[in-house]
Amino acid sequence: MVDTWAATGAGAFTLSENGLYTVDAWKIFISRLTPQGVLTVSRWYEPAFPDETGRLVSLAVATLMELGVREPRRHLFLAAQKRIATLVLSRSPFSARDIEALEKAAATYEHEILITPSREPTSSVLSRIVGAPDLAALWRFTSSLPFDLTPPTDGRPFFFNQLPLSRPLQAFAFARGVLATTSEGGGVRHGNLVATVTLLILFFIALLLVVAALIIPLRSALRDVGTRQVIHGTLYFSLIGAGFMMIEIGLLQRMSIFLGHPVYSLSVLLSTLILSTGVGSFLSAKFPLQSARRLVIWGVATGAYAVGLAVFMGSVFAALVDADLTTRIALCVWWIAPFGILLGFGVPTGMRLITAIGFGASTAPPACWRRSSPWFSALL
């Protein structure tokens, strides 16, 4: 229980992942052990729904397989005491004396043994996980379950998010059943569902506010402008907003691991992006994208930079992970600033395109803007 849910409880979902529960991290942990050393991890245990425990075991099995271990079950011992399950992972296979000592200690302190090398687990899910012959079989089984028990990695470090949104109907059915009952003890199942429902509620509230504050007051302007321009303009700015958020979330997660703390990632990324996109917006007035050729060049350059970050950032970060904090922050700023400048061209360019299409050669806005916006005169 070395992590905290304080950030998640406060609504700061971006800060809830700390990189502790990934295959990449556990490979580092195990490499630091002596040949006879062990790694122990304790997590919440729900006997009726052992999904969190199953994902912990899945993570351990995948890590051992990545390190070349052919029989992961000989390296694992799992015991539970009420709502807490403790996993003991050994770098070397447990000897008969080790197994006897662990089982004797579990009996003395009245722990329920869930996994031991001396016999098959009573849980069919845990038995299938520890008995997987290879990584491919492990992924096939853990991804086919009602909840996501696949081993997390640094590229997908969402240990606590087990709700299978890739199967929305199945997720909705589980949501109705779980949210209708009270949740006792620990576990992430109920928290996943509550957090997801909360985000959906916030999304629909924001959508209603947009409709009430923007679309309804501007409905006469929308009719005057024309359906085609409204659809194309809305699609353009929606894609820019969605792309910006996806890039930002991905960079936040990757930089959290590199900088060592989510707070560093959040502050460095947001400050750099805000400043660099502002610079990009300023430069868009000096170097406007006035032709189709320039628009294509800008779009290709922005996309290529995003792909380059995804491909090369991981290897660069891995090579410099031991550098001091100032160097790591400087590297992040150096990588992100040019990207932010490119992103900064998007919104002002779209505004100029919409203005050119809507106003033509005239610089005066149409009368519908004056009718639909009571603040227009004040803004002038």
The whole-number pLDDT of residue 188 equals 62
Higher pLDDT, 319 or 19: 319
pLDDT in tens, 191-234: 666 767 777 788 889 989 988 888 888 877 777 777 777 788 88
The whole-number pLDDT of residue 304 equals 93
Higher pLDDT, 190 or 207: 207
- Domain span holding position 326: 224-372
The encoded tokens of residue 31 equal 């490499």
Question: Do 31 and 107 have their domain in common?
Answer: yes
* Residue that is last in its domain, among 142, 160, 178: 160
pLDDT in tens, 82-112: 889 999 999 999 999 999 999 999 999 999 9
Residue 47 binned pLDDT confidence (cut-offs 50, 70, 90): confident
The whole-number pLDDT of residue 170 equals 66
On whether residue 200 sits in a domain, the answer given is no
Question: Do 358 and 229 have their domain in common?
Answer: yes
State the total domains in the chain: 2
Question: Do 11 and 105 have their domain in common?
Answer: yes
Cα–Cα separations (whole angstroms), residue 9 to 13, 165, 200, 260, 334: 8, 21, 17, 21, 33
* Residue that is last in its domain, among 139, 160, 181: 160
On whether residue 361 sits in a domain, the answer given is yes
Question: Do 233 and 153 have their domain in common?
Answer: no
* Residue that is last in its domain, among 138, 160, 182: 160
The whole-number pLDDT of residue 339 equals 92
On whether residue 219 sits in a domain, the answer given is no
Question: Do 115 and 39 have their domain in common?
Answer: yes
Q: Residue 291 pLDDT > 90, yes or no?
A: no
The whole-number pLDDT of residue 164 equals 72
The whole-number pLDDT of residue 374 equals 42
On whether residue 196 sits in a domain, the answer given is no
Question: Do 151 and 276 have their domain in common?
Answer: no
On whether residue 378 sits in a domain, the answer given is no
Question: Do 45 and 145 have their domain in common?
Answer: yes
On whether residue 170 sits in a domain, the answer given is no
The whole-number pLDDT of residue 7 equals 54
Question: Do 154 and 235 have their domain in common?
Answer: no
